Structure 1
Amino acid sequence: MMRIISHSVTCLIVISLLNGCFFQTQADKTWPLAPEGSTSLALSRDARFALLYSKQQHLQLWDLEQNTLLAKLGIQDPEQNIISLMRFSDNARFAITATQTNFAIWDLAWSQSKGLWSISDGLIQDIAISNNGTLVLLGLSNGKAIFIDLVTGRRLEFLAHQEKVNTVALSPNGKYALSGGNDHNAYFWDTSTGQIIHRFQHDQRVGTTELQRDGHLALTSDSGNNAIIWDLSTGQQQAKLSSWHRQLIFSSARFSDDGSKLATGTPASRLMVWDTSTGSLMDSYEVAMLKDVRPPRGVVYDAAFHSSEMVVSASSAGVVQAWQIDE
């Protein structure tokens, strides 16, 4: 009888693991920045600052450490188009925000816009910005990845993709780019020449890319179950993320500063932390969800490491949460 009970308990544990039921739901700290929900929400690399946009509050900058609203930046354009994309520069001095057809650069030290630029030859799918706030990378629906120097006006069109460019990432100094698209390819390339350094092939469309800030590692993830960490010095695979989930579809990704960990968010309220050397899952969390919709849902717009022991999530519920990492 005891053997049967033990076997049953073991089966229940295995089934729970296979269904992804073991995850943390209680955050260590919570910041409810936009109770009505947000259409975009970004975190600085160290998770000190948050930038959010909602229809009610428009664009706001928050200091999470002080729990203070630093600035009400307002609307992006006269038509009050919804801001759907935003990203901090690596040093958190600047930010880029975008609608489907235009983008703005913000000097966060002065809480003011540095300008608004329109894009006419495709819809904006993803954005990135350099540390000096003058170098911008856009992924467009027409298959182009466009690198722009806003000071000199130089515009480089990267045309290697054959279909829509879903995702882009830019090194902090703006010298290197990573782009991924519906053509099942991700490219790591030089922004000064447009020359391809590495090509990463996938079986399905690439939806997420991310660069580690020191340029050692890259993540490319497709719409199936292939999420791969690459060693950029060799172009070879370092690890493949290993999970019981049938699909690993990400809405955000961020490496820790030292590259030892990777945080990923999903459109289904899940934040995960991975070991980049092995691809194994270290921790999983369920983030805050919008309660006034059925079923309740929450997209993880962004994630960042506050320290080696703490990861922070930002969700479409307009809520930022800090989570302890169990190492």
Structure 2
Amino acid sequence: MTVLLRLSLILLLLTGCSGPSSTPVTSWRHADDGAYAADISADASLAVVSSVTGGIAVWDLQKNEKRYTWQHQGEGNNLVANVHIAFDNSYVVTSDRDAFALWNVVSGEPEGFWRIDESSIRDVAVSNQGRGILVGRGNGKVMFFEPKTGRRLEFLGHQEKVNSVDLSPNGFYALTGGNDYTAYLWDTRTGQVIHSFTHSSRVTKVALDDEGRYGFTADSKRDARVWDLATGEEVSNLHYLARQKIFSTAAFSQDGQYLLTGSPAKRLNLWRVTDGKEIQEWQVSPREGSRPQTAVVYGVGFAKDNQIVSESSSGLAEFWHINQ
């Protein structure tokens, strides 16, 4: 093969491959000095951002208007690293390592603040109307707590640190994953395990489909799987070339056809649920002046007009177009 022909083939391959898009349709500044955590509501109408210097801000994503600014433990340094919005947009739960708080989105007021007396908080989730709060901890225990009744249930299935938790909208089902290489789907009314999902390394991210069809579990190496929650059987394993891919957030589309994920390395990816094929990739903006030039994607959502939206550690809300 001649050098000219080889170069022509390389150029053809390069022009035929489309890399990740790094040009958002719209970009809004939500945290001047960057963010520690964020979540986007299921309908992509709200974002809650824990900023480095500005407390916790609730943003209307349709108008780009700030609705509230909250202080998790009063004035001072904000250390909130976990944020979750209820499926019905009624409540938000926030936490640092030592305590969690419940906020009413309608009134903008806090409705409870609780300290954890053992181990550190790793992740939190809240159900519709704030009826139940899920708290994953570093000692392997997961607490399900009902603020209005005071009922508390400890799930002891995990043998090591819990890394990620999610809760169904009605609060009846929890999905939790930890360093014991296992994710559990369990009933918060009884503490009984419904399905267990085994990985070859520590489970770093879990997510539930809000319609109750699917669960997503990902480990620290190569396995990122979608499961049928009715049967416990694998639906798909996400296909990617990297030897390792870590996920920082994940959300299913309302129709259950797609999974949207974010990573600690600026990446946003859209996957087809049925076969795990990657449909499209985007790259969020790093914070200006940061070294290295990267960003953690904290929240993702399916927006209107064939768009998706992301919130990242750069402090930006960015809207991206889905190619058809």
TM-score, normalisation: structure 1: 0.94
Aligned counterparts of 1:58 and 1:78: Cα–Cα separation in 2:
9
Pick the aligned partner of 1:209 from 206, 211, 233: 206
Letter in 1 for 2:203: V
Deviations 1:165-221 (A, max 9, x none): 101110000000000000000000111011111010000000000000111100000
Contact 1:95 1:129 in 2 (8 A): yes
Where does residue 30 of structure 1 map in the other structure?
27
Q: Which of 142, 147, 158 is equivalent to 2:144?
A: 147
- Tell me the equivalent position of 1:231: 228
Which of these residues, 269, 273, 282, is aligned with residue 272 of structure 1? Answer: 269
Partner of residue 181, structure 2: 184
Shift of 1:111: 0.6
Kept in 2, the 8 Å contact 1:60–1:74? The answer is no
Match among 290, 298, 309 for residue 306 of structure 2: 309
What SS does the aligned partner of 1:204 have? coil
Quick one: structure 1 residues 260 and 92, their matched pair in 2 at CA, closer, same or farther if it must change by over 3 Å?
same
- Matched AA of 2:204: G
Alpha-carbon separation, structure 1, partners of 2:245 and 2:44: 24
User: 1:73 Cα shift?
Assistant: 2.1
The question of 1:8 aligning with 2:10 is answered yes
**Structure 1 residue aligned with 2:91:** 94
**Amino acid corresponding to residue 97 of structure 1 in structure 2:** T
Distance 1:78 1:72, change over 3 A: closer
Distance 1:294 1:271, change over 3 A: same
Q: What amino acid sits opposite 1:175 in the alignment? A: F
Separation in structure 2 between the aligned mates of residue 303 and residue 227 of structure 1, nearest angstrom: 17
Moved more, 305-314 or 90-99: 305-314
Does residue 251 of the first structure (1) align with residue 253 of the second (2)?
no
* Partners of 2:63 and 2:316 in 1: CA distance: 16
Please identify, of 41-50 and 110-119, the stretch whose mean Cα deviation from structure 2 is larger: 41-50
Find the residue that maps to 2:128 and give its secondary structure: coil
1:218 lines up with 2:215 in the alignment: yes
Q: CA deviation at 1:3?
A: 4.3
Structure 2 CA distance for aligned equivalents of residues 167 and 63 of structure 1: 26
Amino acid in the other structure paired with 1:55: V
Give the aligned length: 322
The 2-side partners of 1:201 and 1:285 are apart by: 30
The 2-side partners of 1:5 and 1:37 are apart by 43
Secondary structure of the equivalent of 1:132?
helix
Q: 2:318 aligns with which of 298, 312, 321?
A: 321
Matches within 5 A, 1:107-146: 107-146=104-143
**Amino acid paired to 2:241:** W
Aligned to 2:65: 68
Cα-Cα RMSD: 1.7
Counterpart of 1:235 in structure 2: which amino acid? G
1:143: Cα distance to partner?
0.5
CA distance in 2, matches of 1:48, 1:132: 17
| Contact kept in structure 2, 1:182 and 1:204, CA below 8 Å | yes
Contact 1:33 1:319 in 2 (8 A): yes
- 1:161–1:183 contact (8 Å) kept in structure 2: yes
Same amino acid, percent of matched pairs: 38
Aligned 8 A contact 1:291 1:297 in 2: no
Distance, in Å, in 1 between the alignment partners of 2:305 and 2:123 is 28
Aligned-partner Cα distance in 1 for 2:71–2:199: 40
